[in-house]
Amino acid sequence: MSTDKKLSGKVAVITGASKGLGKAMALAFADAGARLALVSRDTKLLAEVQAACRERAAEAETYQVDVTSEAQVEKLRQDVLARFGKVTILVNNAGINIRKPVTDFSLAEWHQVLDTNLTSVFLLCRTFVPHIETGCGRIISLASMMAHISIAHRVPYSASKAGIMGLTKSLALELAAKGITVNAISPGPCSTEINTPILNNPELLAKFTAQLPVGRFGKPEEVAALAVFLASGDSGFITGTDVVIDGGWMAQ
């Protein structure tokens, strides 16, 4: 999928934009001509992404936000509207994973994963939906292959990503009449920071790669290209669904 300038002039809010898939999407959206509101808690890495976007001649501003905080998300809304005047695209990408047996999880850790991965999506959607452009608005949330299948020691992560699926379907029906589409992307294993424990463990890496018919982990740029398509006018008849990009894992 060619990005071209199919997002020219559109304002995109991207959470978790400082690294991983968020960074890749920010750069791809910059190449596609979007005006960017980049959101993360890590200001140092976020500034580096901003600089890379500006090198691509994209307008990009950064916002240090804890997306699990209702007050901070509301402040983000105020700041983005004051700076850009509108929002066309909302990309809910912020997420974390804690891997261990369910009996080892504290309630605080459960809430940490659910609040970051799912409650933040609710907060961002509730806050920004009234300001998303009708007729061309797009909401894209990063789910996961783990919303469809799972493996051991992923209980809160899988639960949170499955929750995104339900939220996406319901919100798509709610906003369809306004011409705002709502979709999810479910990546399989990708070469990003969240998978560092796997990528740095040769035995685990070989085990995961053996499950991938394409024989490799996904590239962040591949997920980013899909996000650009879903954010563009080319995807206007796609809503309330999830696009799996997993190298064939779930086809087996």
- State the burial class of residue 72 (Cβ atoms within 10 Å of its Cβ: 0-12, 13-18, 19+): middle
Strand arrangement, sheet containing 181-187: 60-64, 35-40, 11-15, 89-92, 138-142, 181-187, 242-245
Distance CA 62, CA 31 (A): 17
Distance CA 17, CA 193 (A): 13
Per-position DSSP letters for 126-194, written without gaps between them: HHHGGGBPTTT-EEEEE--GGGTS--TT-HHHHHHHHHHHHHHHHHHHHHGGGT-EEEEEEE-SBSSGG
Catalytic residue among 157, 208, 217, 229: 157
The angle at the Cα of 195, spanning 189 to 199, to the nearest 5 degrees, equals: 90
| Largest separation between any pair of C-alpha atoms in the chain | 50
Distance CA 144, CA 146 (A): 5
**Is 157 part of the annotated catalytic residue set?**
yes
Number of H helices, E strands in the chain: 9, 7
Provide the 8-state DSSP code for 81. H
Question: 3-class SS at 89?
Answer: strand
Distance CA 177, CA 73 (A): 26
Q: Which residues belong to the active site?
A: 157
